[in-house]
Each structure stands twice: as structure tokens, then as C-alpha cells.
Amino acid sequence: MKRIKVAVAGAGRIGKIHIENIFERFPRVELALVADQSPEAETYIKGKGLNYANGFDAIVGNSEIDAVIICSPTDTHANFVEQAAKAGKHIFCEKPLDLSLDQVVKTLQVVEESKVKLMLGFNRRFDPNFLKIKSMVADGKIGDPQILKITSRDPGPPPVSYVKVSGGLFMDMAIHDFDMARYIMGKEVVEVYARGAVLVDKAIGEAGDIDTALTTLTFADGTMANIDNCRKAVYGYDQRLEAFGSKGMVKVDNNFPDNHQYYSDAGVHGSLPLNFFLERYTTSYLNEMNAFFQSIQNGSDLPVTGNDALEAMKIALAALKSVKENRPVKVEEIV
């Protein structure tokens, strides 16, 4: 099997995860180049003995590179994806493709014309617990799915400076849950109703965002999903899912560092869930990268496509509109 040559654009928090994974866990994938303009990243990259470039040009200009993994800031995504596509390189891009729906549509057209593969970083689809739910639902274990419930709470809010450019709670955080809802239910959302509130930090409200939300998704056949989001759960990262249907229900709990139970005179105690996405989704980051490489090497279908990004984004925009106008919003209104 031919060894794939990949480049990584962006060696920030999430870029480093992919770099470490490729470096340590995919010995037959060659990490040919890492591009990042920050001095810290340069030190990190060279410290690992990797080839360093200070711009994306070095990636698109290198004809030996088969695929690029884009982990740079959101405002570079659409541009980099288009450049990579035109250069004939397969692309893995962290979400979101862009905060503008028009731009996303345009970028996806460029990708389609270029005939390269584009996979979006909805890594949670590769979490063993969620995969179990997906396979049980797909196997008909719960019969016809009727209600999906997603709990998705972060351990703490990002800096307000980040909140301002993030696209907001729905585009930045809940978009993973919107993708999950489509993925598990296997059908499209037609209407969205969301209530939002600022209950965690007033500064988030002053930045024009919300930090807490309850969202109801309705699918074409009348089945429903409920998502509860909060930017801050003092007990850590809360990621749970429950699917209820005509023949049963299946749910998964959070992941924990261990399963100890301690009984003292003060009660029964256990460990908190794994604190945040780096710890919780370690396996899913690895699995998604494996799926990306396998698709390139075997020519198999990608498990997450550009269209998935587009649909999740429309739901996020509908949710935002719903909060602003306090009414249910049809997804088809989002154009």
C-alpha cells in the first residue's frame, strides 16, 4: 500500500492532536509538512523533527503531497480548502467551513469540480459510545426512532474575544449536536425552535451571544430531537445521548477516567467525567483520521461530507433566527 503524504495547516490545539496522532499512530502515513505562521508553532514543529513552512503556499505548491489537514483559524478555511482543491489535494477540514452560508456553498462547488475528497471534522461521529447508538438505531434495535435527546455542555466558556468571532453558540458549539442529530436519525431536519439565554456570563450576552440554549428539531416525518447546550457545567464536559423509538431506547453516558466508587460516611462518590474534548474525544480524533486515510487509500466513501457541513450550518442559522424572532423556523427559510 502506497504511503500517503499529508501536510497539516495550523499547529494550534487541534492541529497538534492530529499531528501527534499521525506521527505516533499512523506510521505508514508520512507527515511531510506542517505550515503555521506563529513562532511558537515553528518551535514545536521543528522540535518534533518535522518539515516546517510558514505559509499555506508551500503545501499547495508541493506536488508530492496527497492530502492536507486544515486546522488553521476559521477565517482561512474556505480559502485554503479552495486552494487545496484546485491543487488536486484531498482535504480534511476542521469545522466550520465558513461562517457565511454563501461562501460555504461556493467552496463546496469548487471542491466538487476539483473531484477531490473533502471531509469535515465532525469527530464525535467516531466516538465509540455514539457509534454504538448509531449502529443500534441503524440496525432497528429501537424500531422507528421517535425522540432523540442530546446533552452537550462544556466545562467552561471560551474567552469573550473568541465568542465574538465564533459565529455564536449555535455555529460554534451546537453545530456538533446538529450534525449528530442528522447522523443518528438518518433524516433531515425541517424545522427548528430554540430558546436561548445568558445565564453563565453577562459578557457573553454583551458580545451578542447566548450561553445556554434548548433547541427542538423537527424532522420531516414529525419525529423530534431535543438538544440542551450550556457553555458551563461546573462538573466538566457533559456529552450524553439518548434515542427513543417504537421498539426501545438506547442511551450513553459520559466517559470517565476510571469507574471507581468510593463509599465513605459522607456518601458514595465517583470520578467526574473526562474534562473536555481533548480527553473525551481522544479516540474519536484518531478514528476520524483513520477513516479519512482509509477513504483515500481504499477509495471508500467519506463518512462526513461537505454536504453534512452545509446541512448542520443551516440548522444552526435556523436556530439563531428562531431565538431572535422567538418562533419556529423552517430550515428551508435559510438560503
The only residue of 102, 265, 298, 335 in contact with a copy of itself, by rule CB under 8 A: 265
Q: Which stretch binds a copy of itself (CB under 8 A): 84-92, 104-112, 177-185, 235-243?
A: 235-243
| Distance (Å) of CA 85 to CA 38, 78, 99, 110, 120 | 25, 10, 19, 7, 14
- The interface with a copy of itself within residues 168-227 (CB under 8 A) comprises 193, 195, 197-200, 212, 214, 216, 218, 222-224, 226
Residue 181 burial by Cβ neighbours in a 10 Å radius (0-12, 13-18, 19+) = buried
Residue given cell 476510571 in the structure block: 258
Determine the 3-state secondary structure of 318 from DSSP.
helix
Q: Is 259 in the site for a copy of itself (CB under 8 A)?
A: yes
Residue with cell 501527534: 20
Which of residues 3, 13, 262, 279 is near a copy of itself by CB under 8 A? 262
Query: Please, what is the minimum distance in Å from the beta carbon of residue 192 to a copy of itself?
Result: 11
**Judged by CB, which is closer to a copy of itself: 80, or 193?**
193
Give, as ranges, the residues between 13 and 72 that touch a copy of itself (CB under 8 A): 23-25, 27
Q: Which is nearer to a copy of itself, 190 or 334 (CB)?
A: 190
> Is residue 257 a contact point for a copy of itself (CB under 8 A)?
yes
CB of 292 to a copy of itself, least distance (A): 18
Burial class (CB in 10 A: 0-12, 13-18, 19+), 145: buried
Residues in region 117-156 near a copy of itself by CB under 8 A: 128-129, 131-133, 136, 141-144, 146-147, 149, 151, 153
Q: Which of 145, 167, 227, 188 is nearest to 332 (CA)?
A: 188
Cα atoms found within 13 Å of the Cα of residue 299, Cβ hemisphere only? 1
Structure letter (DSSP) for residue 275: -
3 state DSSP class of 250 = strand
User: Does residue 38 sit in helix, strand or coil?
Assistant: coil
Compute the distance between CA of residue 108 and CA of residue 299 in angstroms, rounded to an integer: 20
Does residue 106 interact with a copy of itself by CB under 8 A? no
**Binding track, positions 266-295, relative to a copy of itself; x by CB under 8 A:** -xxxxxx-----------------------
Nearer Cβ to a copy of itself, position 245 or 303?
A: 245
Measured distance CA(134)–CA(131) in Å, rounded: 5
Alpha-carbon distance values, 108 to 76, 93, 172, 179, 292 (Å): 15, 12, 20, 17, 18
Site string for a copy of itself, 299-328 (x = CB under 8 A): ---------------------------xxx
Q: Supply the minimum distance, in Å, between the C-beta of residue 106 and a copy of itself.
A: 33
Q: Closest Cα partner for 281 from 54, 121, 144, 151?
A: 121
* Nearer Cβ to a copy of itself (242/311): 242
Nearer to a copy of itself, 234 or 335 (CB): 234
* Binding positions for a copy of itself, rule: CB under 8 A: 23-25, 27, 128-129, 131-133, 136, 141-144, 146-147, 149, 151, 153, 193, 195, 197-200, 212, 214, 216, 218, 222-224, 226, 228, 230, 232-236, 238, 244, 246-253, 255, 257-265, 267-272, 326-328
